[in-house]
Amino acid sequence: MGAGVIGGGKGTRRRRQRARNRHAAMSEINVTPFVDVMLVLLIIFMVAAPLLTVGVPVELPETAATALPSEQEEPLTVTLTAEGEIVLQNTPIAADELVGKLRAVAAERDDNKIFLRADGAISYERVVQIMGALNAAGFRDIGLVTESGGPTLDAGTDQ
């Protein structure tokens, strides 16, 4: 009878362990790509956010009032520029066409809220005339847009 070595030596065990380690599933999460994507998205939103506002330059008066809560629909905005021009969203519009266009817009909207942005140089009389036109067009909820940080007119507190 011949004596032989049956494969149970140390060399075989090491080979099996190395083969198992090469094919083992990686149980660690690589967070670096996730962080990279989040930083890119953050930069994109930081650049794009200022562009989402209405782009008509107006010097708004300042007040101590707080901001209104946000709505579901895109807010409808009428702007009175320092030159007396009326702008509906981003489109300049003639004063005699304002009520007709606003009635058409009001028929398509669920909300009757509208924001009025008026330059501080515009007279109060002109602002009230536009508010009357907004009311005649069916908008009963008119919000006046101002800049925050203005005087409080309260003598008891310091700002």
Query: SS in 3 state form for 62-106?
Result: EECCCCCCCCCCCCEEEEECCCCCEEECCEEECHHHHHHHHHHHH
Label residue 54 by pLDDT band (50, 70, 90): low
Which comes out higher in pLDDT, residue 33 or 109? 33
Phi, psi dihedrals of residue 122, rounded to the nearest 5°: -75, 140
pLDDT for 76: 86
Pair 57, 80: CB distance under 8 Å: no
pTM of the model: 0.53
Comparing C-alpha atoms, which of 52, 62, 63, 98 is closest to residue 78?
98
Residues of the chain above pLDDT 70, percent = 74
**Where do the domains of the chain lie?**
76-146
Q: Are strands 62-63 and 147-148 parallel, antiparallel or unpaired?
A: parallel
Q: What is the pLDDT of residues 85-143, one digit of tens each?
A: 999 888 899 988 888 888 888 888 877 788 899 888 888 888 899 989 988 888 888 88
Which of the given ranges, 70-79, 116-125, 150-159, has the highest pLDDT on average? 116-125
Fold observed for domain 76-146: Nucleotidyltransferase; domain 5 (3.30.420)
